[in-house]
Amino acid sequence: MKKDLNVTIEIPEGVSANLEGDTLTIKGKEGEITRRFKFGRVNATLVGNKLTLGNEKSTKTEKKLMNTIAAHIENMIKGVQEKFVYELKICFGHFPFTVKKEGNKAIIKNFLGEKVDRVVNLTAGTDVEIDKNMIFVKSVNKELAGNCSAKFEAATKIRGRDKRIFQDGIYIIKKNGKEI
């Protein structure tokens, strides 16, 4: 059954949006995000402080697409107002290891007693702070913050040992204020 569906997103004060074709730029006090969307058959219009996504005679596919794009835009608006923060904890029981930031890389030394350092390439657009046994990843883009945090977890994945005994590693404990 085809219906006329519209999704309206309010742009709050202190945040400005600019829509040019399929590229959306949102600016706020924390920074700026530019993203290119594939709208397909969904029409996007920006009037004043309201962004409207809609389609005449839309099907389930257009409805799903509208809601997905709306969720991404809302995350962009939240990010330029207040940065997304992921908290990671450095855990070790057998071999104490250290994490140091050098430029756009993080170096993990002595993980599981290994002589070779493990290197994490930090994602551009993220701020990484290392404080003793905690790592804080901050970004205006939720996807970049999550990607950088996942790189830390993947770099300390244990292979070839019993995971029940060797629980050393770097683990995400909070995603944007929500405990895991």
Average of pLDDT values for 105-120? Answer: 93
Share the mean pLDDT of the chain: 91
pLDDT exceeds cutoff 90 at 95:
no
pLDDT exceeds cutoff 70 at 48:
yes
What pLDDT score does 171 carry? 95
Which domains, and CATH codes, for the chain? Answer: 3-81 (3.90.930.12), 84-179 (3.90.930.12)
List pLDDT tens digits, range 124-150: 999 999 998 999 999 999 999 999 999
CA dihedral angle for residue 45, residue 22, residue 137, residue 149, rounded to 10 degrees: 120
